Amino acid sequence: MVTVDKEEMASSGLFTKVAAAAVAALLISPIIVISVLSFSESRYLMFPPPGYSLRWYQNLIQDTSWRHAFLTSIEIAIPVMFLATLLGTAAAIALARSQSRAKELLITLTLTPMIVPSIVTAVAAFLWFAPVHLVETPIALVFSHTAIAIPLVVLSVSASLQGVDQSLELCARSLGASPFLAFRKITLPQIRAGILGGGLFAFITSFDEPVIALFIAGTKTVTLPKRMWDGIRYEIDPTVSAVSTIIVLFTLFLVVLAFHFSPRRTRTSPPASPETGGRQA
């Protein structure tokens, strides 16, 4: 008879552990390498750097085109965040509570922007905004980015609605609260985390979005991804590694913030898999 230790059997073997460690290293090392290189003193991207300096950061601060691009991206991402959060939250609540037969179809429609290649979305947006002279304006970018950010908010808010008992809100209603008051006092506090998380994801989506920006931003509304694209495509400008490092830290901060707000799960339930979005390029 074979006797095997139960613990040992359920755990993974050495091969799996080594493979997993290698994949983890692969996932994280490019980001670390780029951060280290941003402090290089050489204009060639050698690793390890021959010496360390802040010259690329200095370059970044002195070059106004980068500062403008950063501010433009922020200016676009903030309205996107509010608009997408408002529309997405309402949609998530509607979908969670609907028992309509069309529900499946409605969910598919709401999530479609995640599956359509962003280049197609970008061309469509360009052709749509060109006749009304909105191409090269920040407004066009806000409109288009909001469309691709709505699904992310819907997913995040839906996740937090999962644990909400709707009967509590009905109780409040039966005790005389108006629908809005019942929602504000009972349901909203329970899904606040999902809403805040969704809003931050919407912000990041817009802030990092390269393809639509490339097609409809033109030369007048240069966002940070568009500026980076120019800096990578035509010459390898080491300033990009300094920008990259700042973006990584900025995004990391926002994501940590988003997960901090995101719905927490109990220990017995499967480990929290974060609300992630389908970002494309």
Partner 1 sequence: MPLFGIHPRAVHRTTPPTKSIRKSCGNLLLLVPALGYLCIFFFFPIAFLLFQSALAPGNYLRVLQEPVYLEVMYRTAKMSLAVTIVCLALGYPFAYFLTTASQRVVNLAIGVVMMPFWTSILVRSYAWLVLLQREGIINKALLELRLIARPLKLVYNLNGVICGISYIMLPYMILVLYASMRNVDLQLLVVARSLGATRLRAFYKIFVPLTAKGIMEGCSLVFILSFGYFITPALLGGREQTTFSMLIDIQMNQLLDWRFGATLSAVLLLVIMLLVFGVRRIVRLERSVQWLQ
Residues 107-136 that bind partner 1 (CB under 8 A): 107-121, 123-128, 130
Closer of 72 and 110 to partner 1 (Cβ): 110
Among 41, 43, 47, 53, binds partner 1 (CB under 8 A): 47
* Residue of the chain from 141, 196, 211, 222 that contacts partner 1 (CB under 8 A): 211
Residues 205, 152 contacting (CB under 8 angstroms): yes
> Cα–chain-centroid distance for residue 233?
24
Residue count at the site for partner 1 (CB under 8 A)?
Answer: 115
65 counts as binding partner 1 under rule CB under 8 A:
no
Q: Does 281 bind partner 1 (CB under 8 A)?
A: yes
User: Using the rule CB under 8 A, is 178 a contact of partner 1?
Assistant: no
Distance (Å, rounded) from C-alpha 225 to C-alpha 232? 10
Contact call for residue 225 and partner 1 (CB under 8 A) = yes
At 103, list the tokens: 């529900």
Q: Does 267 bind partner 1 (CB under 8 A)?
A: yes
> Helices 64-97 and 224-233 meet at what angle, rounded to 10?
130
Give dist(CA 259, CA 78) in Å, integer.
Answer: 19
Closer CB to partner 1, 151 or 199, in the complex: 151
Q: Measured from the CB of residue 30, what is the shortest distance to partner 1 in angstroms?
A: 4
Q: Is 106 in the site for partner 1 (CB under 8 A)?
A: yes
d(CA 177, CA 158): 24
User: Of residues 76, 80, 91, 242, which one binds partner 1 by CB under 8 A?
Assistant: 91
Name the CA radius of gyration of the chain, rounded: 23
- Interface stretch with partner 1, choices 53-61, 64-72, 80-88, 184-192 (CB under 8 A): 80-88
Q: Give the binding range for partner 1 (CB under 8 A) out of 52-60, 62-70, 143-151, 185-193.
A: 143-151
**Least distance (Å) between residue 90 CB and partner 1:** 4
